[in-house]
Amino acid sequence: MRMHSPSMSELHAFATAVRLGSFSRAAAELCVTQSAISRAVARLEQHYGVPLIKRNAHALSLTSVGRELLDAVRAPLGAIEEVSARLRVMPADRPLHLAVVPTFASVWLIPRLRSFQALHPGIKLNFVPYSKGEDFSGSTPDAAVLTGLGPEEWPHCSCDYVIGREMVPICHPARLQQRLAQGAWRAPGDLAQEPLLYHTTAPGNWTQWLRAAQAGRQAPNLTTAFDQVSMLIQAVIADMGVALVQRCLVKEALQSGAVVVPFDLPISLQRGYYLCAPHDRRPRPGFAQFRRWLLEAAGEDIRGMGMGERRD
């Protein structure tokens, strides 16, 4: 028998866009791109051969056929989602797939994972490729540690602040000795004229730090950008300039004497690391335990910095 009904994904895109009044909001809720929603609705209209949605700059409205279709499918779609969520049982031994900012993973997270494994030997973690623009549209990751300014950057996710707002300037020991011998670097604002290294995603960090350090509104002398904190640290070790980095990521370099802190101030900025998991998926086995352990480990580290624990 020839099937006359369209695909479930197209019906979900159509119903969600109408309910939320926006293709972009529907895309955020369904964890796909706005163009994917637009294409799904276009395929649905092509399937029926008539327009279903009227679009304008401010809102969406239904045609008479679109209203008839929505009235017919809204309840069945909800019923199918409800029973699917109830029946979809994840295997208890399924690994928890995580995507993590590379430098944070290698410098901070992985050295601490043995304690997590000791507490939860039955939970297996798999690390999958990290994407700066992670939208959880694929089957993995189940959760990700992302960097940003706050939960509003990921409206389709539950987000917990982990660590990383606590920033500190670092430089090569020889540069500090030279500037002190010259009688320079008497105040934090003196750093503004040095060659300042910065992260590509956060070029404003130096301006924010200088203001927080009561250095006035001096324009920072930004020179070279890097897209990973590990590269920033290596550039400082090569004495290319002064970098502003997350305090939690430079403990080893500071202890070894490879880098030093010219002005050690308790300054926190807005950007940090967040543990994010999409709203539309059932929590994977082991996620709750990993979340609890991660936030406790981060809180302990923050308290060790003498800066107090901050949670959003």
Quick check: 208 pLDDT over 50? yes
Domain boundary at 88, 109, 134, which? 88
Clarify whether residues 160 and 251 are in a common domain: no
> What value does the mean pLDDT take over residues 115-127?
94
State what percent of residues in the chain have pLDDT above 70.
94
User: Which of the four pLDDT bands, split at 50, 70 and 90, describes residue 309?
Assistant: very low
> What value does the mean pLDDT take over residues 214-235?
92
Clarify whether residues 177 and 255 are in a common domain: yes
User: Which of the four pLDDT bands, split at 50, 70 and 90, describes residue 141?
Assistant: very high
Specify the pLDDT at position 212: 94
Which amino acid is present at 227?
A: D
User: How many domains, the chain?
Assistant: 3
Clarify whether residues 184 and 47 are in a common domain: no
| Within-domain flag for 294 | yes
User: Which of the four pLDDT bands, split at 50, 70 and 90, describes residue 74?
Assistant: confident
Q: Compute the mean pLDDT over every residue in the chain, rounded to the nearest whole number.
A: 89
> What value does the mean pLDDT take over residues 258-278?
95
Specify the pLDDT at position 83: 72
Quick check: 220 pLDDT over 60? yes
Helix (H, G, I), strand (E, B) or coil at 98: strand
User: Which of the four pLDDT bands, split at 50, 70 and 90, describes residue 132?
Assistant: confident
| Within-domain flag for 253 | yes
User: Which of the four pLDDT bands, split at 50, 70 and 90, describes residue 310?
Assistant: very low
Clarify whether residues 109 and 67 are in a common domain: no
Report which of 103, 213, 135 is spatially closest to residue 169, judged by C-alpha positions. 213
Specify the pLDDT at position 275: 97
| Within-domain flag for 48 | yes
| Within-domain flag for 311 | no
Quick check: 13 pLDDT over 50? yes
Cβ neighbourhood burial of 225 (10 Å; 0-12, 13-18, 19+): middle
User: Which of the four pLDDT bands, split at 50, 70 and 90, describes residue 284?
Assistant: confident
Specify the pLDDT at position 2: 67
User: Which of the four pLDDT bands, split at 50, 70 and 90, describes residue 177?
Assistant: very high
Clarify whether residues 186 and 254 are in a common domain: yes
Domain boundary at 55, 70, 88, which? 88
Structural domain range at position 284: 96-165+271-305
Clarify whether residues 116 and 26 are in a common domain: no
Quick check: 299 pLDDT over 80? yes
Give pTM, 2 decimals: 0.69
Clarify whether residues 109 and 195 are in a common domain: no
Specify the pLDDT at position 312: 43
Label residues 57-75 b or e (16+ Cβ within 10 Å = b): eeebebeeebeebbeebee
Clarify whether residues 38 and 105 are in a common domain: no
Domain boundary at 38, 63, 88, which? 88
Clarify whether residues 243 and 297 are in a common domain: no
> What value does the mean pLDDT take over residues 206-230?
92
Q: Are 14 and 40 in contact (CB under 8 A)?
A: yes
| Residue 16: its H or E element | helix 8-20
Quick check: 189 pLDDT over 90? yes
- Least confident among 51-55, 239-243, 268-272: 51-55
Could you write out the DSSP letters of every residue in 154-223? -TTEEEEEEE--EEEEEB-HHHHHHHHHTT---SGGGGGGS-EEEETT-TTHHHHHHHHTT-TTPPP-EE
Clarify whether residues 205 and 255 are in a common domain: yes
Quick check: 308 pLDDT over 70? no
| Within-domain flag for 312 | no
CATH number for the domain including 235? Answer: 3.40.190.10
| Within-domain flag for 192 | yes
Specify the pLDDT at position 57: 67
Residue 227 CA to residue 199 CA, distance in Å, equals 6
CATH number for the domain including 13? Answer: 1.10.10.10
| Within-domain flag for 147 | yes
Clarify whether residues 143 and 276 are in a common domain: yes
- For 303, the token pair is 């308290």
Clarify whether residues 278 and 145 are in a common domain: yes
| Within-domain flag for 240 | yes
- Least confident among 20-29, 152-161, 231-240: 20-29
